């Protein structure tokens, strides 16, 4: 892909002709635009779609204790209820119930999004 070789000004003019009232003019403009893109070693998706950012690197969380610590490190991203919930299960002596684990998993995802946004 050689974006530097693409004559973007010409491409813009050609694409502007796609709305012509004359079918032949539209067809010629489309063919010329396609040729212009291909001569630059590119494809339409290279021109139309911007490159996607790399996905955020998510910190793995293995144990419930690690998960709770991670969530509480991002307490500013949590609601009061979520923060209270994380603090209460941190003090809990018994294993988490499936329902508590499901809530904790949602809080982990929320904390990971907050961490990725801050990075």
- pLDDT digits (tens), the chain, 119 positions: 566 678 989 999 999 999 999 999 999 999 999 999 999 999 998 888 877 666 666 667 788 999 999 999 999 999 999 999 999 999 999 999 999 999 999 999 999 888 888 76
Query: Do 68 and 114 lie in a common domain?
Result: yes
Residue 72 within any structural domain of the chain: yes
Query: Do 105 and 75 lie in a common domain?
Result: yes
Q: Which position has the token pair 């032949």?
A: 24
| Containing structural domain, residue 97 | 64-118
Query: Do 7 and 41 lie in a common domain?
Result: yes
CB 15 within 8 A of CB 33: yes
Structurally, how many domains does the chain consist of?
Answer: 2
Residue 112 within any structural domain of the chain: yes
User: Running DSSP on this structure, what letter comes out for residue 17?
Assistant: G
pTM (whole model) above 0.85? no
């Amino acid at each position: 892909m050689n974006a530097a070789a693409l004559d973007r000004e010409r491409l813009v003019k050609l694409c502007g002709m796609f709305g012509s009232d004359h079918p032949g003019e539209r067809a010629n403009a489309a063919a010329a635009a396609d040729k212009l893109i291909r001569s630059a070693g590119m494809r339409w998706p290279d021109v139309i779609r911007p490159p996607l950012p790399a996905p955020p690197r998510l910190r793995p969380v293995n144990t419930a204790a690690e998960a709770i610590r991670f969530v509480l490190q991002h307490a500013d991203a949590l609601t009061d209820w979520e923060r209270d919930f994380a603090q209460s299960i941190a003090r809990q002596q018994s294993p988490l119930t499936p329902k508590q684990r499901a809530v904790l998993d949602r809080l982990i995802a929320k904390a990971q999004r907050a961490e990725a946004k801050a990075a």
